[in-house]
Amino acid sequence: MRASLAVAEEQLAHLADEAEEKGLKALVSETPGADLEYREARRHADAMVRHRDAVKASIAELEARQDQLLDQLGS
């Protein structure tokens, strides 16, 4: 899961940069095509944020379960 998180973080950085770049292009060019590209790039970045957050939540759940099991072993 931690490897998946690292990959998601790396992909998110790339997608966020791409969305920002396309957002600037859309502002400068003011064309419907550029705006469409920006919105699509933003959706991809937002989807990656949700994926990253889900992976983080899974890691937290696994760590909590691991702690719980270790506590049971210690008892």
Q: Give pLDDT tens digits for 33-65.
A: 999 999 999 999 999 999 999 999 999 999 999
- State how many domains the chain has: 1
Range(s) of the domain holding residue 2: 1-74
Helices (H), the chain: 2-29, 32-74
pLDDT for residue 59:
97
Q: Residue 71: is it exposed, middle or buried by C-beta count within 10 angstroms (0-12/13-18/19+)? A: exposed
Quick one: CA dihedral 43, 49, 55, 60, positive or negative? negative
pLDDT for residue 75:
84
pLDDT for residue 35:
94
pLDDT band at 11, cuts 50/70/90?
A: very high
Cα 39 to chain centroid, rounded: 16
Residue 8's CATH number:
1.20.58
Residue 57 identity: A
pLDDT for residue 26:
94
